[in-house]
Structure 1
Amino acid sequence: MEKEAKNWSYSVMICCLPTYQRKAEKALDEFPHGSYSLYRANDEYAPHWQEESRGAYELVYWDLRQIEAQIYATADDLLHEISREIAPIQRKIKELQ
């Protein structure tokens, strides 16, 4: 009975992790659309800004660029960790069979 409960628990995990991974990948695939809009607006409007407005905008713009890079790095780490978690669970399921 305990073996069946563990097997069921691992089976649920093995189903959930790939689903979670696909959702994270989908969110990451959609992220560039927002970034593209920002960069397009930047190219269109920012060249006309001057002095303090321009300086303040440039600070925000570069902060956003850094945040974007951090999001991609974190997403890569997350996807890697999810993949890394799947293999041991699959081994546990095979051991229980």
Structure 2
Amino acid sequence: MKVPSLLESIEKEAKRRVYATMIRCLSSYQGQVEETVDDFHRGSHSFYRANDEYVPHWQGESREAYEWIGTCSKSRYVIYGTADDLLHEISRELPKFDER
């Protein structure tokens, strides 16, 4: 009878370690996503601050290039939405590992 309980206990410990590793990985990933979103936000803020200060005076090729960048910057809403979805999913998954 000791052998099955020893095997069960080894199995349980192995699962616990796997779950603990998954929790650490997801938590780390969550932190990286949050940090990346913060960096992106700061970059966007700098871009728009410079935009307000300098761009009104641009003409010619500089102005055309800027207009192209302006259309690309609309993708920031997609980036923020994707980041929110990703962080939401990570937040949903983490408690599942704690329950095991």
* TM class, shorter-length: 0.7 to 0.9
Question: Aligned equivalents of 2:24 and 2:43: distance in 1?
Answer: 30
Indicate the residue corresponding to 1:88 in structure 2: 96
> Where does the alignment leave 5 or more consecutive residues of structure 1 unmatched?
93-97
Matching residue of 1:95? none
CA shift, 1:6, in A, is 1.1
Look up the match of 1:57.
66
Q: Which has the larger radius of gyration?
A: 2
Q: Name the Cα RMSD after superposition.
A: 1.8
Partner of 1:77: 85
Q: Which moved more, 1:47-56 or 1:79-88?
A: 47-56
TM-score (norm 2): 0.75
Identity of matched residues, %? 54
1:12 corresponds in structure 2 to 21
Alignment partner of 2:30 out of 21, 26, 45: 21
CA distance in 2, matches of 1:69, 1:88: 30
1-structure distance, mates of 2:23, 2:65: 48
Alpha-carbon offset, residue 15 of structure 1: 2.2
Normalising by structure 1, report the TM-score: 0.77
Kindly provide the CA deviation profile for residues 74-97 of structure 1, in whole angstroms up to 9, marking residues without a partner as x. Answer: 1101101111111211112xxxxx
User: Per chain length, whose mean CA-contact separation is higher, i.e. which structure has more relative contact order (CA < 8 Å, sep 6+)?
Assistant: 1
CA distance in 1, matches of 2:94, 2:65: 45
Instruction: Spell out, residue by residue over 1:38-97, the C-alpha distance to the aligned partner (whole angstroms, 9 max, x if none).
Output: 112211222112366534422321221x221111111101101111111211112xxxxx
Q: 2: distance between equivalents of 1:47 and 1:29? A: 27
